[in-house]
């Protein structure tokens, strides 16, 4: 099994993260360390990385396997470099996530759960991303794209494909999760 | 103390009880899956739902603390509906393979569905597929049957202390797995087969061999270590099909080690099933009368000072007594039951017993292990030490080489010198022992099986571990026969030789005939110069040196008494008959008395037991520990510098039965591989 070790830069980060937790509660650092390891290792966690984190924190290895397999944010198998996740839980689905999924499949040319042949994009469905007020939602790497429909999702993915960074957030023009048709309360000020 | 009303009955329970415990105290049976009294509460199966007045929905009684004034109903339409619902939900993904499932007939899910479940399923979709897991040679899996109670995980985490199983993934995709498909390493892992309420975890060696209801169940005791774990031997026809633990709070609670559980295939292999006599340099089959006559002639025709006998680790009390009487009648003082050369049996009775008792471990607050590796010598006792450690406020120190015991241990040193320092009060741990309320010192059989063993024993016995109504001095034996042998005085008589002396005597030509009662742990090759009569059940080391073989019965094949390390006599029972012409051991020795023309007034096993009762009344108080009076030991000379060693490197193969077992051989191979890869750092 190929070994895993944190890069020198990340080792400093590891030390910083671990310092947040008392000596007998080091296991609390498992999530940030796994995120760090995953980022360092091209978006997924090989077993060596899981074992390394476990040994570092003095946890039984199986406990780290449980954590890594519990959260969908961790990949335990190689995936594409760019992670495209479309939320398909009920609110998003009611607001048209089917269209978003279809747009993603067509633009990327792959099915859900697959990686493009060049190893660049990985597409998957996700459960509620916690942004239901702005449904439907697509999550690309670290950014949320909200208030989508088919064409908007397509445009975003095309842009990402070209190497651009489309502006994240609601694509409907509203700010944050204020009402779609504009503010409805607190309209008068200073009276 | 909270007072509750349960089905109209008022009941008071100790603080900290759960509603479930309160219901049980009130005589109400609550169905459960995930709850287990010896494991932490998980509260994940919902089978134990009951109705709590003023609560909008039923509550999980196993996870709800009992509080004053609660009004609980366990037998209402709401409760019945809830149970039906839970079972219907559990059965959604559970296969209908009861007819071919090993758990069938002793399955909690089957039973509870019968009593509380729905009569049909409304679920028409596909059931969830789950790949079976490879957990090694002992446990087979059928993971589609798993109901995710997590008992198996909790047992390994909490009781065994080897965290290797987990619940990976989430929700509907959750699976019980090691994730890395590696064999489990705990030597207590077999217990998760019993804990699994369904047929997800099965015994691999027993798989598809029998249905539970066609087995004869015999309650007996284990002899593969010195704890005397209570077991149930399940047999069909004349074959032992499996070995299960029996509840005994004083000894094994409800656990047994994997050797106890899985070595039984060794009972079918390498058996001695006909008497044999050596002719022209080869052992040849003979009749009982020929073999006995040959043995008698040889014994009678040799001067008593040239005859010796050694008793093995699996021998029972009855046959030991008859052998002792035989030797006495012949006039030979050369008799010993301490194959490993342990320097025990010289002092008072308390000097060789586990005085505080096994359950007493839970009272102890400081523990010193002297040349003792409880994990390999008595895994179930180690689990008790771990249990005590988990309760908190337990300090364990060790003198001897480090080995992982599943709980933290302070390493004090390697050999008798360190023990001297502790006795002298020179190191901090000595103070802890002195200050302790109930200090425990566990002397391993390895620590006294050395030339300076008596001095080590005396030194350990001088530690300050005596308190009002507490004797913290404990010897942990590893041979089931040992305490019985010591109590019966299976020891060299005046001028007699011990095992080392006997071996030496054979080499020097001073001992001519050696009688081995199942003695397989001595250097049998050194017996070449003697005429060896071997009485026992396996063609192991002792039989290899034999000139006459008298085939005896293994522990599952005889009614016999064993005294465990605490000094607790217990009865093993006959589950199957000895194979071929083999006989119960006391009968063989009785017949040998006759062949020698010796007067013997025992005709039945009852007579032998009556004799034991007269000689040592406490050995007739079955299942009871008769406490021994404490007296300081006489000084026994100087200790030497050699560090302590442990008797076993290989837990799985320690006696003629487990050495004959293919299952144990496989476990031992895996353990060796694991150690080798850990040593080279390539594990994983
Ligand atoms: S395998 Fe058995 S004991 Fe383990 S979680 Fe599943 S049902 Fe429970
Ligand atoms: S359902 Fe999609 S973000 Fe909540
Ligand atoms: S027994 Fe109470 S939730 Fe499982």
DSSP of A52-73, one letter per residue? HHHHHHT--HHHHHHHHHH-TT
Strand pairing class (B334-336; B307-311): parallel
CA atoms within 13 A on the CB side of A11: 5
**Cβ contact, residue pair A47, B163, below 8 Å:** no
- Residue B253 CA to residue B256 CA, distance in Å, equals 9
Say what the pLDDT of residue B682 is. 52
pLDDT exceeds cutoff 90 at A182: no
- Residue B130 CA to residue B175 CA, distance in Å, equals 8
Q: What share of chain A is helix, strand, coil (3-state, %, to 5)?
A: 45, 10, 45
| Nearest Cα to Cα of residue B473 among B323, B360, B554, B634 | B360
Q: Does B681 touch chain A (CB under 8 A)?
A: no
Residue B557 burial class via C-beta count within 10 angstroms: exposed 0-12, middle 13-18, buried 19 and up = buried
Ligand lying nearest the CA atom of residue A129? 2
In degrees rounded to 5, what are phi and psi of residue B398? -135, 140
Q: Does B164 touch chain A (CB under 8 A)?
A: yes
Token pair 């929700």 is found at: B171
Residue A41 in 3-state DSSP? coil
Which of B135, B150, B157, B166 to mutate against chain A (most A CBs within 10 Å)?
A: B166
For the whole model, what pTM was predicted? 0.94
**The token pair that represents B318 in the structure block:** 């009855």
Residue among A92, A96, A170 to mutate when testing ligand 2 (max atoms within 8 A of CB): A92
Q: Is the CB of A137 under 6 A from ligand 2?
A: yes
Q: Is the CB of B151 under 6 A from ligand 1?
A: yes
Quote the ligand 3 centre to B45 CA distance (angstroms). 5
| Nearest Cα to Cα of residue B389 among B410, B372, B370, B371 | B410
Token pair 């490879």 is found at: B134
Residues of chain A in contact with residue B163, where contact means CB-CB under 8 angstroms, are: 60, 62-63
Residue B678 in 3-state DSSP? helix
Query: Which atom of ligand 3 approaches the CA of B30 most closely?
Result: 1
Beta carbons within 10 angstroms of residue A11's beta carbon: 12
Which of B168, B180, B684 lies at the smallest CB-CB distance from A66?
B168
- Residue B90 CA to residue B201 CA, distance in Å, equals 17
The DSSP element (H or E) to which B536 belongs, if any, is strand B531-536
**Cβ contact, residue pair A69, B179, below 8 Å:** yes
Quote the ligand 3 centre to B254 CA distance (angstroms). 20
- Residue A188 CA to residue B39 CA, distance in Å, equals 61
Say what the pLDDT of residue B577 is. 98
> In B635-653, which positions are buried (b, 16+ CB within 10 angstroms) versus exposed (e)?
ebeebeeeebbbbeebbbb
Quote the ligand 3 centre to B213 CA distance (angstroms). 28
Contacts of B459 (CB under 8 A, 6+ apart): B416, B419, B420, B423, B639
Which of B179, B184, B185, B681 to mutate against chain A (most A CBs within 10 Å)?
A: B179
User: Which chain A residue has the Cα nearest residue B163?
Assistant: A60
**Cβ contact, residue pair A69, B168, below 8 Å:** yes
- Residue B564 CA to residue A130 CA, distance in Å, equals 62
Query: Which atom of ligand 3 approaches the CA of B61 most closely?
Result: 2
Q: Model ipTM?
A: 0.91
Quote the ligand 3 centre to B24 CA distance (angstroms). 14
Do B646 and B404 form a contact (C-beta atoms < 8 A)? no
- Residue B217 CA to residue B235 CA, distance in Å, equals 7
Which of B169, B178, B684 lies at the smallest CB-CB distance from A62?
B178
Class of domain A8-70: mainly alpha
**Cβ contact, residue pair A65, B164, below 8 Å:** no
Quote the ligand 1 centre to B150 CA distance (angstroms). 5
Give ranges for CATH 3.40.30.10 in chain A. 82-170
- In B225-324, beta strands by DSSP E: 230-236, 239-245, 276-279, 282-285, 307-311
- Residue B223 CA to residue B266 CA, distance in Å, equals 13
| Series of mean pLDDT values for 10-residue runs along chain B (684 residues) | 95 96 96 97 96 96 97 96 96 94 96 93 93 97 97 98 96 94 96 98 97 97 98 97 98 98 97 96 96 97 97 98 97 97 94 98 98 97 98 97 96 96 93 97 95 96 95 97 97 96 97 98 95 97 96 98 98 98 97 92 95 96 96 90 92 97 98 89 52
N-term to C-term CA, chain B: 51
- Residue B313 CA to residue B490 CA, distance in Å, equals 12
**Cβ contact, residue pair B165, A62, below 8 Å:** yes
Give ranges for CATH 1.10.10.1590 in chain A. 8-70
Do B132 and B141 form a contact (C-beta atoms < 8 A)? yes
Do B411 and B402 form a contact (C-beta atoms < 8 A)? yes
Ligand lying nearest the CA atom of residue A88? 2
Do B396 and B385 form a contact (C-beta atoms < 8 A)? yes
Q: Is the CB of B201 under 6 A from ligand 1?
A: yes
User: Which chain B residue has the Cα nearest residue A74?
Assistant: B169
Rama region for A148: left / alpha / beta (φ>0; ψ in -120 to 50; rest): beta
Residue B277 in 3-state DSSP? strand
Beta carbons within 10 angstroms of residue B2's beta carbon: 18
| Nearest Cα to Cα of residue B486 among B448, B450, B451 | B448
Residues of chain A in contact with residue B166, where contact means CB-CB under 8 angstroms, are: 62-63, 65-66
Give, to the nearest 10 degrees, the angle between helix A47-57 and helix A61-70.
120
Q: Does B165 touch chain A (CB under 8 A)?
A: yes
Residue among B108, B152, B189, B193 to mutate when testing ligand 1 (max atoms within 8 A of CB): B152
Class of domain A82-170: alpha beta
Residues of chain B in contact with residue A70, where contact means CB-CB under 8 angstroms, are: 168-170
The sign of the dihedral angle between the CA atoms of B171, B173, B176, B182 is negative
The sign of the dihedral angle between the CA atoms of B107, B114, B39, B155 is positive
Contacts of B526 (CB under 8 A, 6+ apart): B503, B506, B507
- Residue A138 CA to residue A126 CA, distance in Å, equals 9
Question: B471 has which bridge partners?
Answer: B466
Q: Is the CB of A87 under 6 A from ligand 2?
A: yes
Say what the pLDDT of residue B564 is. 98
């Amino acid at each position: 099994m190929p070994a895993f070790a944190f890069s020198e830069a990340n080792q400093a980060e590891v030390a910083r993260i671990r310092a947040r937790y008392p000596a007998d509660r080091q296991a609390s650092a498992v999530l940030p360390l796994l995120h760090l390891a995953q980022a360092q290792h091209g978006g997924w966690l090989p077993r060596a990385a899981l074992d390394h984190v476990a040994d570092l924190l003095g946890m039984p290895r199986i406990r780290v396997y449980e954590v890594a397999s519990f959260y969908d944010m961790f990949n335990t198998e190689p995936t594409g470099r760019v992670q495209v996740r479309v939320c398909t839980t009920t609110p998003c689905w009611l607001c048209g996530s089917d269209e978003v999924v279809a747009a993603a499949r067509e633009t990327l040319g792959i099915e859900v759960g697959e990686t493009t042949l060049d190893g660049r994009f990985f597409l998957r469905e996700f459960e509620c991303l916690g942004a239901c007020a702005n449904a439907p939602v697509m999550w690309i790497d670290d950014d949320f794209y909200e208030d989508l429909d088919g064409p908007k999702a397509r445009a975003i993915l095309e842009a990402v494909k070209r190497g651009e960074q489309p502006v994240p957030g609601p694509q409907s023009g509203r700010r944050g999760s204020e009402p779609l048709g504009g503010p409805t309360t607190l309209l008068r000020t200073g009276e | 103390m909270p007072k509750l009303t349960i089905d109209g009955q008022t009941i008071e329970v100790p603080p900290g009880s759960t509603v479930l415990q309160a219901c049980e105290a009130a005589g109400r049976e609550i169905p459960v899956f995930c709850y287990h009294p010896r494991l932490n509460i998980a509260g994940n199966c919902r089978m134990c739902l009951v109705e709590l007045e003023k609560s909008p929905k039923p509550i999980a009684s196993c996870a709800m603390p009992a509080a004053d004034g609660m009004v609980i109903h366990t037998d209402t339409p709401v409760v019945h509906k809830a149970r039906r619902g839970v079972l219907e939900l559990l059965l959604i993904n559970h296969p209908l393979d009861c007819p071919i499932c090993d758990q069938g007939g002793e399955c909690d899910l089957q039973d509870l569905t019968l009593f509380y479940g729905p009569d049909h399923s409304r679920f028409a979709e596909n059931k969830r597929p789950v790949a079976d897991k490879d957990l090694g040679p002992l446990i087979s899996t059928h993971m589609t049957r798993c109901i995710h109670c997590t008992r198996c995980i909790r047992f390994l985490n909490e009781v065994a202390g080897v965290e290797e199983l987990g619940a990976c993934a989430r929700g509907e995709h959750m699976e019980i797995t090691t994730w890395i498909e590696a064999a489990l390493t705990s030597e207590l892992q077999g217990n998760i087969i019993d804990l699994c309420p369904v047929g997800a975890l099965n015994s691999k060696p027993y798989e598809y061999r029998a249905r539970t209801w066609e087995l004869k169940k015999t309650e007996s005791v284990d002899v593969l270590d010195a704890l005397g774990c209570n077991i149930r031997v399940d047999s069909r026809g004349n074959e032992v099909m499996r070995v299960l633990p029996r509840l005994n709070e004083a000894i094994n609670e409800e656990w047994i080690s994997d050797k106890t559980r899985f070595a039984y295939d060794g009972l079918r292999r390498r058996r001695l099933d006909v008497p044999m006599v050596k002719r022209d340099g080869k052992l040849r089959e003979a009749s009982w009368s020929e073999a006995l006559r040959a043995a008698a002639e040889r014994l009678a025709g040799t001067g008593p000072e040239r005859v010796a006998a050694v008793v093995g680790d699996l021998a029972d009390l009855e046959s030991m007594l008859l052998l002792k009487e035989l030797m006495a009648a012949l006039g030979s003082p050369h008799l010993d039951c301490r194959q490993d050369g342990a320097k025990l049996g010289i002092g008072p009775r308390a000097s060789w017993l586990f005085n505080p008792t096994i359950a007493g471990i839970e009272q102890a607050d400081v523990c010193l292990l002297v040349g003792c590796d409880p994990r390999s010598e008595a895994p179930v006792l180690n689990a008790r030490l771990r249990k005590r450690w988990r309760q908190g406020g337990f300090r364990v120190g060790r003198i001897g080489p480090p080995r992982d015991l599943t709980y933290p241990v302070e390493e004090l040193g390697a050999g008798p010198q360190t023990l001297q320092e502790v006795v002298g009060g020179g190191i901090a741990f000595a103070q802890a022992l002195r200050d302790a309320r109930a200090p425990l010192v566990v002397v391993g059989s390895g620590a006294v099986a050395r030339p300076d063993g008596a001095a080590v024993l005396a030194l350990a016995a001088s530690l300050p571990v005596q308190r009002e109504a507490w004797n913290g001095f404990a010897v942990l034996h590893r041979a089931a026969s040992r305490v019985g042998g010591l109590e019966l005085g299976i020891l060299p008589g005046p001028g007699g030789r011990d095992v080392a002396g006997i071996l030496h005597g054979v080499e020097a030509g001073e001992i001519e005939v050696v009688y081995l009662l199942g003695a397989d742990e001595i250097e049998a090759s050194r017996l070449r110069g003697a005429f060896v009569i071997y009485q026992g059940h396996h063609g192991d080391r002792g039989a290899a040196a034999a000139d006459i073989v008298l085939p005896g019965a293994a522990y599952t094949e005889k009614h016999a008494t064993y005294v465990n390390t605490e000094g607790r006599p217990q009865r093993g029972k006959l589950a199957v008959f000895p194979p071929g012409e083999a006989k119960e051991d006391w009968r063989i020795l009785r017949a040998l008395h006759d062949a020698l023309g010796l007067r013997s007034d025992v005709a039945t096993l009852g007579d032998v037991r009556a004799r034991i009762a007269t000689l040592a009344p406490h050995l007739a108080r079955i299942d009871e520990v008769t406490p021994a009076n404490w007296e300081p030991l006489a000084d026994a000379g100087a200790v030497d510098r050699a560090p302590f060693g442990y008797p076993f490197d290989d837990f799985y193969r320690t006696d003629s039965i487990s050495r004959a077992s293919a299952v144990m051989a496989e476990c031992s191979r895996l353990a060796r591989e694991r150690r080798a890869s850990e040593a080279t750092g390539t594990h994983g």
